[in-house]
Amino acid sequence: MDLGLKNKVIVVTGGAKGIGAGIVKVLAAEGAIPVIVGRSEVDNLITVKEVEAAGRQVHHVVAELTDPAACENAINKVLQQFGRIEGLVNNAGVNDGVGLEHGNYEKFMASLHKNVVHYYLMAHFALPALKKSKGAILNITSKTAATGQGNTSGYAAANGGRNALTREWAVELLKYGIRVNAIVVAECWTPLYENWINTLPDPIAKRKDIESKIPLENRMTTAEEIANTTAFLLSERSSHTTGQLIYVDGGYVHLDRALANA
């Protein structure tokens, strides 16, 4: 299926690694022009080289997204280079373990800045361009907003905010024809996930235990699967879909756990 994304400029925050890199690669394969926005030029360029080696277009901007001025500057750089933006993927963030019992105000507020404030800022600064193109916004969020996790108040609150902003923006932007949706991620295998699981006493056993609870095929979601749904939701093939929180998780959040071992 041709998603009609050829030559569309789509900004992807945190597009150098993990889910973000998967999204960048799928968008590039669809003929879009993804623009990575990330804090590390080294990491950005690694993904840029991989995409260009496949004969696809990709660009990048270095920005520390916890800095509001850097968010505005990143959007301005994209517009200076291309003159347009047809899509925004808010993806950057980190499950930073800022809990209630052992956290504090400063850490909690820092977690919100890492995980949800820049979602608002990037959408705010990109909005004039998105209004011109009748583009789309896609927010990547986490199951923690729906399920809780324990010891991650900042990240859970941020994801609750991401979900609420998705619905709020979908309403506010109806008059401009801008669609806004979210993909909710549960257990997705990424380098960051692998780093975390390797800190545990028995990583192999822990991974098997987690996968045993994922109903569909008893395996983790891949970054490419998140990316495929992202590309669809950014495209005109999903032209009447807005304000939706779509779980790409193998049934992990909503299906009965008993099904996983059926």
Catalytic positions: 155
Six-digit token string for 171: 């309403």
The DSSP output letter for 220 is: P
Six-digit token string for 161: 């905010």
Pair 220, 188: CB distance under 8 Å: yes
Among 178, 182, 19, CA closest to 86: 178
Q: Compute φ and ψ for 12, nearest 5 degrees.
A: -125, 110
What distances in angstroms separate CA 5 from CA 8, 86, 205, 256, one per listed residue?
Answer: 5, 9, 41, 37
Residue identified by tokens 């260009």 is: 52
Pair 188, 222: CB distance under 8 Å: yes
- The Cα–Cα gap between 24 and 227 comes to 8
Q: How far apart are the first and last CA of the chain?
A: 34
- The Cα–Cα gap between 119 and 101 comes to 27
**E strand or H helix at 33, and its extent?**
strand 33-38
